[in-house]
Amino acid sequence: MRLVKLIANLGYGSRKEIQMAIRNGWVTDRDGNPLKVDSKTPHEDILFDDEPLDPPEGMVLLMNKPLGYTCSTKDQGRLVYDLLPDRFRMRKPVLSTIGRLDKETSGALLFTDDGTFLHKVISPKSEVPKVYEAELDRPLKGNEAAIFASGEMMLENEQKPLKPAELDVIDDTHVRLTLHEGRYHQVRRMFAATGNHVNALTRIRIGGLGLEGLGEGEWKLLGEEEKSRIFG
């Protein structure tokens, strides 16, 4: 029964369907021997339909989110989950995004089914910096870096000033901005408060982890070294 529950929790089907799959011999070890419901074969040696099983609970994914996709499981329109295998939506525990990107923001987006890891990444204590590249509608005025770094900038309808953020100027309409917190639409609202408008926004880095060759809409599982880079 352990095997049925394990595979069902990975989203491959209901317990009934998995029982059937086992009975039909679709669940095997690496040598192609069909497994029984009471098999104790290690996770990494189990094949479903000749393919290794998805990783167990505790997985972390990095996606290069394209524009036009929403970070939600059930909004109208295109969802970031549409870019992952369908069964990932049925996993238990659920696979969530770590924070969100706006529909019209692209770039680095993490997912996990590990609640402890999720909280560690978003916790203010971890101070994971997030780096964004923005294209602005109008040339910079020149005082933005000082305003963002001041630790005194207030956004509309907020009670607490923003933490200091670092602005690197690429040219007068292109910047890199490093944030140490994640408020709603933060980058767009920061530039709006300076009288500008963000035309295009992409997150290029979360902590020490960049997109490194991951194309738009692509994703990959993170290993231990890449996970630790988020905090490094």
167-202 residues labelled b (16+ CB within 10 A) or e (exposed): beeeeeeebebebeeeeeebbbbbbebbebebeebb
Exactly one of 22, 27, 101, 136 binds ligand URA (CB under 6 A); that residue is 101
Q: Both tokens of residue 1?
A: 């029964």
Q: For residues 41 and 194, which CB has a smaller minimum distance to ligand URA in the complex?
A: 194
- Strand 209-210 to 96-97 pairing: unpaired
Exactly one of 45, 54, 102, 135 binds ligand URA (CB under 6 A); that residue is 102
Q: Does 185 participate in binding ligand URA (rule CB under 6 A)?
A: yes
Contacting residues for 21 by C-beta, under 8 A, at least 6 apart: 7, 12, 13, 27, 48
Contact region with ligand URA (CB under 6 A), list: 84-92, 158-166, 181-189, 223-231: 181-189
Catalytic residue among 54, 102, 137, 172: 102
Query: Active site includes 102?
Result: yes
Q: For residues 69 and 219, which CB has a smaller minimum distance to ligand URA in the complex?
A: 69
Exactly one of 65, 188, 205, 227 binds ligand URA (CB under 6 A); that residue is 188
- Residues in contact with ligand URA by the rule CB under 6 A: 101-102, 105, 185-188, 201
